[in-house]
Every structure is written in C-alpha cells, then in structure tokens.
Structure 1
Amino acid sequence: MRAHRRQLTIALAAALVFAIGLAPPGSGASSPSLVVDRTIVCSIVQGNPPEITVRAQSGTRVFGDRSTWKFRANASFSDPSATRPGTYAWITAGWPPDEEFGRPASAQSLAMTTRCRPSRSRVPLSTAGLAGGVASPTVDDYDCVVPRTILVRIRGVFRTPTSLRRGTREQLAAAGPIQEGTLAIRTQAGKQIALATVRESGHARLFVADSCRPSS
C-alpha cells in the first residue's frame, strides 16, 4: 500500500511539473522577477484597412527640479478604433513616477490588455527594416497599417523584483522602477512594424516600418 501511494505521489508530481512546463507565458500573474518579458497575439478587428497607433515620448523633468519628472519616457501601442479599454500595451521608465494634477502618482511601469492572448512566437528586438531615432519630448505618434492579427512583445528590466498582476481594467500590470524597456510589434508572417525603447535616464527611441505614417 505504501509503495502504491509513493508511486501515485511521484506520478502526480511529474504531471504537475509537465503541466507547468506547458503553461503559456504571460497567461496571468507571475512570480517576482527583475525581468518581465511577454509576447502576446492581438486581433485588430476594426478599420479598413486595420490600423494601430504607435507612440513614444522622451522624458521631461520639472523646470527647476531635476529630481521630479513632468513626463516619464514612455512607449505604447493601441487600436484607436476599438471600444474602451481596447487593445493596447505600454511601458514607461524614469523614477519616481510623475504626478498629474488631481491624480495620485501611479507606480505602474508596464501594462498590457488581457484582450490579447499569450503567444510562444519569437519576436526579435531588432530595428532591421525600420526607420526612426530619438523620440521627441512632445510625443512621436504614428498610425500603422497592419494585418488583422499582430504579435506584440513587451519587455522591462526592473531595478527591484516585480510581477504581473491583474488590474481592474482588463489588464495585466507590473509596478516599480524600470531601468530599460522595449516594445516590439510584428506581423505573424515575420514583417516588423515598430520597435520602441525607453530608459530610466528619460531617453526614448522609436523605429517604424514604411507602412506607418505620422498621425494627423
């Protein structure tokens, strides 16, 4: 009987390890880590042709107070045609968080919608085939024509361990100071659409494909 129970325990443990190994990345809240790296597949259902908005902004400090951010370096993508909260992902770097009039500062530095699904597809963090450079402090904004389905990779290197947690607006978010972050978007066929980077120094860079044009 004891031998049978021991064999059953071993079998259950092996099954649990196997199941964990098959769990898709980014499927929900995660264990604390210095690096949050998720790839998701998103459906862009509106528009003919479908479009997304990609933007990046270099950080700006408060005049006369170099210790305070007016705007942190940030990068994001969104589906402007979708109903709120829509399809999106964003990342920001610079600490402490900037404060907006009438709103408390948010410690969130990385977020993505739960409307997209986790993906095991490979999305390189490369600017090959893209054009761009340093993002303006007043926001660089592009509209990009895309297929109905896109891949999005969002990666943040944090100064202290953090984890993705479910928010209240159909999103997963991680809080804490980010050293550097990257947002990369490509088609499922492998064509790169955009890549943006942010750093805690306030520097942001944005590179886009020829299917993108400045937002009007």
Structure 2
Amino acid sequence: MSSLLKLHYFDLAARAEPIRLSFAIQEFPDGKMAVQSYAILRYVATLRPSYGLYPSNPLERLCVDQMMETFADIREKTRVVNVMPDGPAKRAAREELLNTTYPFYFDRVERMIGDNKYSAGDHLTISDLVIDSVFYWMFNIIELNIQPSILASYGKIRKIQELVASNSAVQLWREKREVKSLPAVAEGVAH
C-alpha cells in the first residue's frame, strides 16, 4: 500500500465531504482508485477499526447503513427540487419539502436515534459525518434557502451536528478547508 490516500472528487462540500471528514479523523495509508462516495466512505472507515467510524458488528453496521441511506433519500428529494426550473412548481415543491417531506424523515431519524448519544450508537460513526454533511449542503450549497431553523423541533439531530462540530479533528479540518461555491466548482470543471 502507498503512504497516501488521495480523493479525486469535486472540490465542494457535498457528497464527498464525509469522506474528507473521515480523512481528518483518521490517518492511514492506501492507494487504490475507487468510485461511489458511500462505498469509498465505508472503505476508508474500515481502514482503522480502532476509530470505530464503521463498526465491525453487523447489527451496528446495519444501524449506520440505514441512517446513511435515510439521508441519501433526504439528499435526493432535496436535489430533485433544487434542480427544478425557477417558478411556481419549484416553490410548491420546496414548500412540500419543508412542510411534509422533511418532517416525515426528521421524525423517523429522531426515532432511529432513540437513546443513542450519536446517530447509530454511543460513538462517532460515518453516519454522523453524513448527517452533518447533508445539512451543510442543504443550508450552504444549494439554492433553496433552507434554514437551520427547520431543525428547531429535532433536538437529537441538532445534537449530532453539535457532536460532529465539536470533534477536534473535524474542527481542524474545517479551519484548513477552503469551501468553494457550486458556481466556482462548475467553472473549474468547465476549464
């Protein structure tokens, strides 16, 4: 194995951001080309089992995976509305997200978290990184003007965000990370 693992992905705080956060938490060697963000994230998280980012216990993995898939659903439903042409249909779809879709999913997530400290247990996992990154994307990257206040009634989800944000490795990564806007990334890809 090589001494460097390098991520080739759009320089945008979006689907690859949980992978970048797992890089920040772990230090490890590698050197293989791979595709698909969640597959890469799971792989990276298993390289240092002692960190516990992706549990070895199958039932604990199931909890992590179901949380990640739930947030993949949330991201996709949001993405579909985000790419709609501006107009009445997009405004109606945005309202549907805010008033129906998000409450349905966020209530479900709160139940899934249950009495856990984190989203899938009592320690940080990749599902927590995914949750944090999806909300960052929703609040800061896309152009639907979704505000963090949508989480006002969801204390468990907000707590996950606080726990991820307070992780020293994540804090260090965020201090160093230059987050680019979607137009800046698109411009870079076009050239």
Which of the pair is proportionally richer in helix?
A: 2
**TM over 0.5: same fold?**
no
Give the TM-score normalised by the residue count of structure 1. Answer: 0.25
Q: Larger C-alpha radius of gyration, 1 or 2?
A: 1
Give the TM-score normalised by the residue count of structure 2. Answer: 0.28
